[in-house]
Amino acid sequence: AQKITQTQPGMFVQEKEAVTLDCTYDTSDPSYGLFWYKQPSSGEMIFLIYQGSYDQQNATEGRYSLNFQKARKSANLVISASQLGDSAMYFCAMKEGFKTIFGAGTRLFVKA
Amino acid sequence: GAGVSQSPSNKVTEKGKDVELRCDPISGHTALYWYRQSLGQGLEFLIYFQGNSAPDKSGLPSDRFSAERTGGSVSTLTIQRTQQEDSAVYLCASRITGTGIGINNSPLHFGNGTRLTVT
């Protein structure tokens, strides 16, 4: 069964606009962590933001914020004030115990 | 080194040959992971090491795939009798583990991957 679902294969956003990348997950473990990674065309994987299952507040890191809705099992990434350099693949990941599994990714295109 | 190092960066091999991919994690990172990423796809979990032991081998696609880790550091992923469907980027990642504050949310640190092409 798919544990991490990213339903948007591709997204377009105008430069300086905000964009939301969707992620839903499935787990029965009460303790888990959710991560977002960025993969530019160079191929490197860059950690962006983390949300723990017990965290009371939504995580924020600069222009990145995570819209965590625990009851709906969703952990959407919000990028504010998009920049051309934000064009990349974005992966949502969930850590259960020591295992981290990834969604299929969303390719974001930022238009000038 | 400062980051996760993988070698070779590119490997072209003929179908049926064996290949070895190497990963040198960040010093002090006890957990090491191997993932496979096919072109334009997500990351497929292969195997996880905690120290030298592999408590989770559930992602290895077939018995042609094996991995080991020695000295709690370098890991080698071996693919025997390679097939064309093995062509992909093989990514290694490490993370720190333990009981300190913030340890549970430590992210994976990835290498740049080995691009394997089986002809």
Q: Give the pLDDT confidence score for residue B103 in this predicted structure.
A: 54
Q: Give the pLDDT confidence score for residue A35 in this predicted structure.
A: 96
**Where do we find the tokens 């000295």?**
B71
Q: Quote the CA–CA distance of A81 and B58 in Å, as a whole number.
A: 40
Q: Give the pLDDT confidence score for residue B61 in this predicted structure.
A: 94
- At residue B102 the predicted structure's pLDDT band, cuts being 50, 70 and 90, is low
Q: Average pLDDT in the A25-46 region?
A: 93
State whether residue B34 sits within 8 Å of chain A by CB: no
The two structure tokens encoding residue A77? 């990434």
- At residue B57 the predicted structure's pLDDT band, cuts being 50, 70 and 90, is confident
pLDDT tens by residue, B86-100 = 999 999 999 987 655
The residue among B24 and B98 whose pLDDT is bigger is B24
Which among B104, B109, B113 has the least Cβ separation from residue A43?
B113
Q: Quote the CA–CA distance of A49 and A66 in Å, as a whole number.
A: 8
Q: Give the pLDDT confidence score for residue B2 in this predicted structure.
A: 78
Which among B48, B50, B104 has the least Cβ separation from residue A33?
B104
Q: Quote the CA–CA distance of B85 and B97 in Å, as a whole number.
A: 33
Any idea of the CA torsion for B70, B74, B80, B85, to the nearest 10 degrees? 140
- At residue A2 the predicted structure's pLDDT band, cuts being 50, 70 and 90, is low
**What burial class does residue A111 get, using C-beta atoms within 10 Å of its C-beta: 0-12 exposed, 13-18 middle, 19+ buried?**
exposed
Q: End-to-end alpha-carbon separation of chain B, Å?
A: 33
Model confidence at B75: pLDDT above 70? yes
State whether residue A104 sits within 8 Å of chain B by CB: yes
